[in-house]
Amino acid sequence: GEDVEQSLFLSVREGDSSVINCTYTDSSSTYLYWYKQEPGAGLQLLTYIFSNMDMKQDQRLTVLLNKKDKHLSLRIADTQTGDSAIYFCAEIGDSSYKLIFGSGTRLLVRP
Amino acid sequence: DADVTQTPRNRITKTGKRIMLECSQTKGHDRMYWYRQDPGLGLRLIYYSFDVKDINKGEISDGYSVSRQAQAKFSLSLESAIPNQTALYFCATSGLGAGEQFFGPGTRLTVL
C-alpha cells in the first residue's frame, strides 16, 4: 500500500534554514501537502503542490518535488522559534479522498 | 469562530463505556473525516463520509462507528472503549478541488 516516510526530528538554530524531507511510494499521487501541528492544536495546512510542479514558493516556505525519486521537501527560510512544531507530509492519490500521512517531523528551533 | 469544532476537547473514561465524539463544521463542505493520532504514527483514517448518505470505513475502523447527522455534523462512537483507543482524535473536512483537508482542534481521549 501507499507509504509516506519522514525523519522524526530536526533541530536548527534560529535564523538558519530548515529542510524537512519526505519520501512517498504512491506513483499516482496528485497533490502533496505540508501540515503544521503546534502543541495542543490540530493540523494546519501550510502549503501544497500539484504533482506536475517541481517547486512552489510561498513567502518563507519553499516546496521542492522530485517526482522521479518520489521525494518532497519543505524549506523554511530564516527559521523562527514560532516555527517549532511537528510537520507532516501527506499525499493524495487518484482516489482523491484518502490523505496518507507521514509520521511527522518534530522541528526544534534553538535560540 | 473556528470552522471545524470538536466536543469534548478532553475526555477520560473507563474500559467498556460508550463514548461519542462530535464534530461540527461551518465550511459548507460535503466531505468529513475522522482520524486518530498516536505518537510516532502520524494520522490514521478511521471513517470518512462524502455526503449525508455516504459512510465509508478507513484503515482502522474496528471498534468504532460513525453517524453523519447532517452535512455539518459527523460523530464518532466507541461502543465499548478499550485502553488502546487512548489517542488524540481529529475531525477534518474537505471540499472539492485540491483535496486539502481542514482539521478541528482534536479530542484527547483517555481510556482507563
User: Which residues does chain B have with pLDDT short of 70?
Assistant: 1, 97-98
Q: φ, ψ for residue B83 (rounded to 5)? A: -55, -30
Chunked into runs of 10 residues, chain A (111 residues) has average pLDDT values of 88 97 88 92 91 93 95 97 95 76 94 90
Q: Does the distance separating the beta carbons of A50 and B98 come in below 8 Å?
A: yes
CB A4 within 8 A of CB A93: no
Q: Which three cell numbers, joined as nine digits, stand for B1?
A: 469562530
pLDDT score for B55: 95
Burial classification of residue A45, based on how many CB atoms lie within 10 Å of its CB (0-12 exposed, 13-18 middle, 19 or more buried): middle
In degrees, to the nearest 5, what angle opens at C-alpha A89 toward C-alphas A28 and A69?
Answer: 50
Chosen for mutation from B6, B51, B61, B103 (greatest number of chain A CBs closer than 10 Å) is B103
Judged by CB atoms closer than 8 Å, whether chains meet at B90 and A96 is answered as no
Question: What's the pLDDT at B1?
Answer: 60
Distance from CA of A2 to the nearest CA of B (A): 12
pLDDT at B108: 95
Bin B16: left if φ > 0, else alpha if -120 < ψ < 50, else beta.
Answer: left
The three three-digit cell numbers of residue B75, written as one number = 460523530
Q: What is the model's pLDDT at position A65? A: 96
CB contact under 8 A, A42 and B100: no
CA distance A85 to A93: 26
At B26-52, the pLDDT tens digits run 999 999 999 999 987 788 999 999 989
Question: Contacts of residue A33 in chain B, CB cutoff 8 Å?
Answer: 100
